[in-house]
C-alpha cells in the first residue's frame, strides 16, 4: 500500500499544486491513499467549506489541521459536515470536529489518521500530545494496523520524540507547521516511517508562503505588515511511504518535492 502525505497547503497556490499534481501522482505512483494538511488552505490561514471541497475533489482522502483551524469564521460549524477533515485530537473535548478518522479503501483495508498539536513554542493550549495520541493509537489498532499521525508542531525535538515514542505502533509519523521540508526521512527500528516536516504546498519564492518584502520589513522595523500569500515558484512537498498492508510496517519512505507549471 502506498500513502502520500502532503504538507501545509498554503492559499490558492497551494490548492493549485494539489489539484494539478495529486491526480497524476495517484496514477503514476499507484497511490492508494492521500492525506493533506489543509489548515492554511484558505487565504493562507484556516479552512473553508470551499477549500476543503476543492482538496477532496482533487483526490485527497483525509485533511488534517493545526493551530489555525478556526481562523476562518464559521468553520467550527463547517467541520462537522466533513467526516474526512480532522482537527488536533488534543484540543478540548468540547471543540467541534474530531481528532481522528478511519477510512476504508477499495473495500480492502482501513487506514486510520490522527492529527495532534505540539505544545512547545505553540500559542494554543492543549493536552499532552504524547498521552493523547498513545491512547488513540491503542483504540484504532483494534480496527487497523495502518495508522498515520500528523504532528503539527514547532519544535523538531517534540516531533522526533513523538515519532520515537510511537515506533512500532503506527505506519508513519510526519510533522507539519514549519512549512520547511526536512531531509531526515527514515524508518525507525520498529517499522515506523518518519519525517520531521513534510514542507509546504505553495509558493516557495516567499517566506513560508508569504510575500518576501513585507516579512523582511516587519523584521527590520517591528511594525505590523499585511502579509499576503505569494504566488511564484509553486511546489508540492510531502512524503510517500509504502506500507505492509497486514502489519502496518513501513517498507520505504521517500520525500517528494515537485514544481508546478502555473502557466498552463
Active site residues: 68
**CA geometry: angle 115, 255, 111, nearest 5 deg:** 40
**Along the 264 residues of the chain, how does pLDDT read in single tens digits?**
999 999 999 999 999 999 999 999 999 999 999 999 999 999 889 999 999 999 999 999 999 999 999 999 999 999 999 999 999 999 999 999 999 999 999 888 899 999 999 999 998 889 999 999 999 999 999 999 999 999 999 999 999 999 999 999 999 999 999 999 999 999 999 999 999 999 999 999 999 999 999 999 999 999 999 999 999 999 999 999 999 999 999 999 999 999 998 766
pTM: 0.96
Q: Indicate the domain borders of the chain.
A: 2-203+232-257
> Looking at the domain that runs over 2-203+232-257, which CATH code has it been given?
3.60.21.10
List, as one string, the DSSP characters of the chain: -EEEEE-EE-HHHHHHHHHHHHHHHHHHTT-SEEEEE-TTTTTTSS--HHHHHHHHHTT-SEEE--TTTT-STTHHHHGGG-TTB---TTS-TTSSS-SEEEEEETTTEEEEEEEEE--TT-SS----HHHHHHHHHHHHTTT-S-EEEEEE-S-HHHHHHHHHHHTTT-SEEEEESS----S--EE-TTS-EEES---EEEESSSBTTB-HHHHHHHHHH-------B--SSEEEEEEEEEE-TTT--EEEEEEEEEE--TT-
Amino acid at each position: 500500500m502506498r500513502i502520500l502525505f502532503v504538507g501545509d497547503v498554503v492559499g490558492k497556490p497551494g490548492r493549485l499544486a494539489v489539484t494539478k499534481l495529486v491526480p497524476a501522482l495517484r496514477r503514476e505512483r499507484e497511490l492508494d491513499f492521500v492525506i493533506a494538511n489543509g489548515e492554511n488552505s484558505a487565504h493562507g490561514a484556516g479552512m473553508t467549506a470551499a477549500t476543503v471541497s476543492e482538496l477532496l475533489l482533487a483526490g485527497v482522502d483525509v485533511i488534517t489541521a493545526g493551530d489555525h483551524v478556526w481562523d476562518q469564521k464559521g468553520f467550527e460549524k463547517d467541520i462537522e459536515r466533513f467526516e474526512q477533515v480532522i482537527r488536533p485530537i488534543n484540543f478540548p473535548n468540547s471543540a467541534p470536529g474530531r481528532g481522528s478518522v478511519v477510512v476504508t479503501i477499495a473495500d480492502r483495508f482501513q487506514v486510520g489518521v490522527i492529527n495532534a498539536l505540539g505544545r512547545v513554542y505553540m500559542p494554543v493550549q492543549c493536552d499532552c500530545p504524547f498521552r493523547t495520541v498513545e491512547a488513540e493509537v491503542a483504540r484504532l489498532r483494534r480496527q487497523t494496523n495502518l495508522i498515520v499521525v500528523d504532528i503539527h508542531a514547532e519544535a523538531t525535538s517534540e516531533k522526533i520524540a513523538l515519532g520515537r515514542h510511537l515506533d512500532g505502533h503506527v505506519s508513519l509519523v510526519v510533522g507539519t507547521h514549519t512549512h520547511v521540508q526536512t531531509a531526515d526521512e527514515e524508518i525507525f527500528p520498529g517499522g515506523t516511517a518518519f519525517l520531521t516536516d513534510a514542507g509546504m504546498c505553495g509558493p516557495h519564492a516567499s517566506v513560508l508562503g508569504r510575500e518576501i518584502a513585507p516579512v523582511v520589513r516587519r523584521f527590520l522595523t517591528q511594525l505590523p505588515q499585511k502579509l499576503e500569500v505569494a504566488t511564484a515558484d509553486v511546489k508540492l512537498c510531502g512524503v510517500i511511504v509504502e506500507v505492509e498492508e497486514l502489519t502496518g510496517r513501513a517498507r520505504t519512505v521517500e520525500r517528494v518535492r515537485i514544481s508546478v507549471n502555473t502557466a498552463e
